[in-house]
A = this chain, B = another copy of it.
Amino acid sequence: MLPQIRNGSVNKLDETLLTRLPPFSLLDRPQIRTILDQATSRRYDEGSTVFGEGMAADRFYLLLDGTIRVVRTTPTGEQIIALHIGPGQLFGIAPALARDTYPATAVAAAECVTLSWPVRLWGDFVASYPGFATESNRTLGARLGEMQNRITELATQQVEQRVAACLLRMVNQSGRKVATGIEISFPITRQNISEMTGTTLHTVSRLLSAWEREGIVESTRRRIVVTAPHRLVVLSGPAGQV
């Protein structure tokens, strides 16, 4: 776990904050010091927007703590949650896609702490810091893979399988052990799950209630604990095991 930084002034940040993160793991301390000296740190309350879809991509980000929800809005105003991003990951890396606007909106799904840098430094980072380019490529590869999995799920799976796979994905990405099972570590509503799985709020509620009766999950309005992950794996169908 990363240290809890709440109101970190950047020059007080310890270099060890970055040395364990893949994009920076090959660098020496003076290099990391330079990177931190150029960074801005910021705390975001749950629900606040880090950047919006279509906005000029003037900074790129590293998530130190919390969870970022990547959201797109359709022309008719429906929201789609494309993915969740956890601590230690780069995001808003529009320059890696040769874009000058952000392709989606980033919202703090829980309280978040970020570092960010002006986009003009991207080229310097790629050219000067060994492993940084590879790691940003790896991030894109992982996101692309996740999107392909989502497309496959949406195109071939039944709603029940999709909702089960969605819960499993969040448990794998950011589950924490609690007394009764594994809790998804950020607030998650039934509405959020419907926006992740392309189904209705009604269907999500019906499924979660059924699974609750069967002892597979426990849920409150904003929290979900998976109490029988192996049964969710079965429900997610063969494609859930890709």
Instruction: Give the B-binding residues of A (Cβ under 8 A).
Output: 72, 74-76, 78, 80, 82, 95-99, 103-104, 134-135, 137-138, 140-141, 143-145, 147-148, 150-152, 154-156, 195, 197-198, 237-239, 241-242
Contact = CB atoms under 8 A, between A and B. Distances in A.
Contacts of A198: 154-156
B150 A76 contact: no
A156 B74 contact: yes
A152 B80 contact: yes
A242 B152 CA distance: 22
Nearest to A138: B98
B145 A76 contact: no
A144 B144 contact: yes
Contacts of A143: 144
Contacts of A154: 151, 154-155, 198
B147 A98 contact: no
A103 B148 CA distance: 9
Q: Most B CB atoms within 10 A — which of A145, A151, A154, A237?
A: A151
